[in-house]
Each structure stands twice: as structure tokens, then as C-alpha cells.
Amino acid sequence: MAEFTMELNEDQKQVRDWIHGFAADVIRPAAAEWDEREETPWPVIQEAAKVGIYSLDFYAQQFFDPTGLGVPMAMEELFWGDAGIALSIVGTGLAAIGVVANGTEEQIGTWIPQMYGTPDDVKVAAFCSSEPDAGSDVGSMRTRAVYDEAKDEWVLNGTKTWATNGGIANVHIVVAVVDPALGSKGHASFIVPPNTPGLSQGQKFQKHGIRASHTAEVVLEDVRIPGSCLLGGKEKLDERLARAREKAKAGGERVKNAAMATFEASRPAVGAMAVGTARAAYEVALDYARTRTQFGRPIIDNQGVAFQLADMRTQIDAARLLVWRASWMAVAGKPFEAAEGSMSKLYASEVAKKVTAQAIQILGGNGYTREYPVERMHRDAAIYTIFEGTSEIQRLVIARTISGMPIR
């Protein structure tokens, strides 16, 4: 019988310790400065590139970890360092994964290097999907892509929002509608090369948290791109649209459920980010409670504080286990019969908000000041219950999955 273990192997431990060292030595010392500046931390990204963390090879190695734990382990350690800077480092990966998952070998070889640049001249990429009226409801997307057959060009028009690296990216990956009648199945992804006329940055958002990560609108006005910039190519798109039309006739809800199942698999990575932030806040609170004395003894001697820390640690470990389970299920090809991907993201996100708030409470007045990092961690944690599907959407997905109802 195969041995069951929940312990990381030696290779995984080495990678974890390497990432943790970078987070401790490079990310954390810079966190407060870049949060205050609300600017992209280019020097930190460059350092990450020099050591190999900011690269497609790094993410590919973690993605292909046969246990499924490579990505969540990396995300937890980076976001333990600082959520805003970590998101600046990993944000390009979302666009890169979009190209790797849907693009041709030629597209991958051409565009991925341009997304990352070099350690001496780092670049970033942006994945542009959300719109002002299409966040959770992706079926309401309005950005259109129309094919100009005479010139073999696609013409893009619309506005994207909440785009990490939007407007400052060297390469933008834009999701647009090519067949409105098919809803979300009528979408396609496009590569917008550097310096393409018609693409501009709209509003840059001044955010409550993750302020070192650039978030902005991307405006597309008659953006013309070569036909070769359609991810996967025109022939593949036409075949996919034809199948979608046939499946829609046979049973549209089944098609939507399959799409939702695919999206479900990406959510544990966000849960891992939340675990990293929660763990960071818990460790600060634990250290403070051990060293802060009141009435002649450390405050951890008081049950009111000790019990809070016990709950915090328990919830963090439970969140990590849900993330690891979902990550393992995804790589093992196990069906999410109870929306386990959404479970992991939902619980870890809620834990991050709760634990960071408790950390502030344990530190008291000190926790409310910017002299201690828990104030920043609490602001950062708020995003986890919002992006990649709000907590309300996660509960909806879980409820409909366990009830057998269709997911719209």
C-alpha cells in the first residue's frame, strides 16, 4: 500500500525555503515604502528576475509539480512577504499562463519572453478580462473583436477594468467577444503587442490595499492587431465556436457548467495568497504577545489573547489544508464534486480578513499604526474576498454544486 504523507519532499522544502528567504530579505524590507508610494516596485521585480523567481520557468516548474503543491507553496511564501509586492511579481504570470494554455508554440515562443524581458530590463504583462459592467457576470462582457478579413486583422473596441499592470504592460492579453449569441463561450483572447495604437491606460485606481500593485483601466479604441495575435489561431477559434453552437442547441447549461469547472481549478492559488497574508499577521501577533508585558506578565498569559491566537493558528492551518486538497485534486484530475476549489478560496479569504483584524486587536493601539505591518496586512487582506470571484460568488457556486442546480 502506498504511504500517505502530508509532508513536503526535500526538493519542495528547498524551494519553499529559497522563496521564503527572498520574501524575508528582499520583499519585506521594501513593503512599507512601496505601499506608501503606491507605485510598481520595479527594483524588487528586477531582483526577483535576477534570482529566477520572476520568470516563466519558475512558474512552470511549480505548475508541473506532480503533487499540485508547487504553486500554492510558492504563493503562500511570496504573499507572506507582502501582498502588494508579491502581486506585482506574480501578476505577469496570469497573462503568461493564458498564452501557454491557449496559444500556439509560435505564439508562446514569440510573446512570453517579451512579457518578462530580461533581468537588466524587466517587463510586465497584463491580463484584461473584467469590465465596468462585467465582473462576476462574464456573460455581460462588451469588448468586441471584429475580424477584418481583407487585411487579416482583428479590431478591438471596449474598456477593461481592474487590470493588474494595465497600461504599463509591455504585452496585454485581452479577452473580447467574437460571437455575442454564445455568451461566455463566444469569447476569445488576443495578444496586443507593445506600442499598439489605440490602446491606452484609463483610470489608475488608488486602492485600499495591495497598493504596490498597479491596477488600472485599459481603453481600446479601434485597436488593430495582426490575425496572428488571436490566441490559438483563427481555424481553432472557428472550430470551437461551431462546437459551442451545437452544444448550446443540445443543452446550454451543460456547456456553462464545464466552463465553470475549468475556472474553479484556478481558485486555490488565490486561497494560498490569503493563507500567506494571514500567516504573516499571525506571526507578528504571536511575537508581540510573547514580548509585550502588562500587569507584570506577557499578554499571551491572558486567556483572552491566548485563545485568539489558538483560533488564528487553527483557522490558518485549516485554510491551507483546503487549498492543498483542491490543488492536489486539480493536478490529479479529480472532479470538484462539491466545488472544492471555491471552498478553498472562500475559506482562506475569510480567514485572512479575520486573522489580520484579530492581529490588530492583539497589538492594540500599536496595531492601528503604520509602525507595525499588521495594519497594512489587514488592508491587503480585504482584496481576497473580492477578486477571482467574491465570497458571495464562491458560496453560490458551492451551493449550486452540492444541490445539483445549474451554475449560471
* Residues noted as catalytic: 388
Terminal Cα distance for the chain, rounded: 42
Instruction: Name the DSSP class of 24.
Output: I
Angle separating helix axes 267-291 and 340-363, nearest 10 degrees: 20
CB atoms within 10 A of CB 221: 12
Q: How far apart (Å, rounded) are the C-alpha atoms in residues 326 and 197?
A: 42
Residue 194's alpha-carbon distances to 199, 217, 226, 375, in angstroms, are 10, 17, 13, 37
Phi and psi dihedrals of 22, rounded to 5?
-65, -40
Phi and psi dihedrals of 194, rounded to 5?
-60, 140
One-letter identity of residue 64: F
SS3 content of the chain, % helix, strand, coil (to 5): 60, 15, 25
Phi and psi dihedrals of 299, rounded to 5?
-65, -20
CB atoms within 10 A of CB 121: 10
Region of residue 214 (left: phi > 0; alpha: psi -120 to 50; beta: else): beta
